[in-house]
Amino acid sequence: MPQPPGKNQLATQRIPDALRQLSDCHLCAHHCGVNRLAGSKAGRCHAGSESHIFSAQTEVSDELEVIPTFAIAFSGCDMRCGFCITGKESWTPNAGVSFNSKTIAEQARKAIQNGARSIMILGGEPTVHLHSVMELCALLPEDVQWIWKTNAHGSPEAHALLEGLFDLWIADFKFGSDECALRLSNTEHYLGIIQSNILQAASHADLIIRHLVMPGHLDCCWKPVARWIADHLPNARVNLRGGFWPAWQAGKYPEFKNSSDNIQSDWNKALSIAEAHKLKLTL
């Protein structure tokens, strides 16, 4: 029987489909339908056809099971989280340097030779750059773990391009209510989209769900997120993130202005919620 295509071959086969998306872009769940080949900046992410990266380096601040990882951060994002720790780069698709797949692939190979255990693609949000991601994945070494770190707000079209390509998904589940998602990230209909995408990712890849404990959002966000995970993916690994930092535009939200006052108390409560739902926490 013929062998299934390797990751390089799979990515190569999907490059034409990813490029076709640029003329009528539906890569994220906003479904703007923008012609990015015409240089339009009308979409939510404001990205055109040329991708940029704002970081490509070995990092040790992610999950213990994947570090050190060679992390490639694409500029630009389809969400507008006011507390984003990489706000300028994540909101600006032309931040950093122009993307060159051969250069980045060579850097990744050298990083693996020097001890990196995995290759992570992130952002911003890399989903809006799938044409460049496919081009890069066609060149990356296949014998290490490939990680897709995402806000999980992609579209079915994007998921079709990603399915079966990455070994591990690290997916953010930021908000537990549509109201919080709209107010803090200008993202509509958040819950149904994220829940569907996380379930789909879990069907074909290893999965870690991330949630950042935000001041004032235990009851409205973490509790419902924890309950949903317990009900739908009880064996999923969950990275509960503490140490909220009021970055970027966080100061315009009242609950974040004095965010350091109750950090330890909020963290203890968040852990209690996780324990009550028997979640499998990971670091």
Residue 1 lies in a domain: no
Across residues 43-60, what is the average pLDDT?
96
Residue 200 lies in a domain: yes
Percent of the chain past pLDDT 70, that is, above it, reads 99
What are the pLDDT digits (tens) for 176-212?
Answer: 999 999 999 999 999 999 999 999 999 999 999 999 9
What are the pLDDT digits (tens) for 86-116?
Answer: 999 999 999 999 999 999 999 999 999 999 9
Residue 214 lies in a domain: yes
Decide if pLDDT at 146 tops 90: yes
What Å distances lie between residue 120 and 2, 66, 221, 254, CA to CA?
A: 29, 9, 27, 34
- Whole-prediction pTM: 0.96
Regarding predicted confidence, which is higher, 194 or 39?
Answer: 194
Task: Identify the pLDDT of residue 243.
Answer: 87
Mean pLDDT, the chain, rounded, equals 95
Across residues 14-43, what is the average pLDDT?
92
Task: Identify the pLDDT of residue 221.
Answer: 98
pLDDT-derived band at 1 (thresholds 50, 70, 90) equals low
Decide if pLDDT at 3 tops 80: no
Task: Specify whether the CB–CB gap between 75 and 92 falls below 8 A.
Answer: yes
pLDDT-derived band at 40 (thresholds 50, 70, 90) equals low
Which residues fall within 8 angstroms of residue 16, CB to CB, at 6 or more apart? Answer: none
Task: Specify whether the CB–CB gap between 173 and 240 falls below 8 A.
Answer: no
Task: Identify the pLDDT of residue 190.
Answer: 98
Domain count, the chain: 1
Say which range, 29-43, 47-61, 201-215, 268-282, has the weakest mean pLDDT. Answer: 29-43
Decide if pLDDT at 2 tops 70: no
What are the pLDDT digits (tens) for 224-265?
Answer: 999 999 999 999 999 999 989 999 999 999 999 877 778 889
Query: 251 is in which domain, residue-wise?
Result: 7-40+53-281
Across residues 41-57, what is the average pLDDT?
92
Task: Identify the pLDDT of residue 260.
Answer: 74
Torsion of CA 121, 124, 127, 132, to 10 degrees: -60
> How close are the terminal C-alpha atoms of the chain, in Å?
41
Residue 45 lies in a domain: no
The DSSP code for 154 is B
Which residues fall within 8 angstroms of residue 84, CB to CB, at 6 or more apart? Answer: 77, 90, 91, 247, 248
Per-residue buried b or exposed e for 4-29, using 16+ beta carbons within 10 Å of the residue's own CB: eeebeebbbebbeebbebbeebbbbb
Residue 19: CATH number of its domain: 3.20.20.70
The DSSP code for 275 is H
Task: Identify the pLDDT of residue 18.
Answer: 98
Task: Identify the pLDDT of residue 215.
Answer: 95
Task: Identify the pLDDT of residue 262.
Answer: 84
> Residue 124 and residue 151: Cα distance in Å, rounded?
9
Task: Identify the pLDDT of residue 69.
Answer: 98
Query: Cα 61–177–245 angle (5° rounding)?
Result: 30
Task: Specify whether the CB–CB gap between 56 and 109 falls below 8 A.
Answer: no
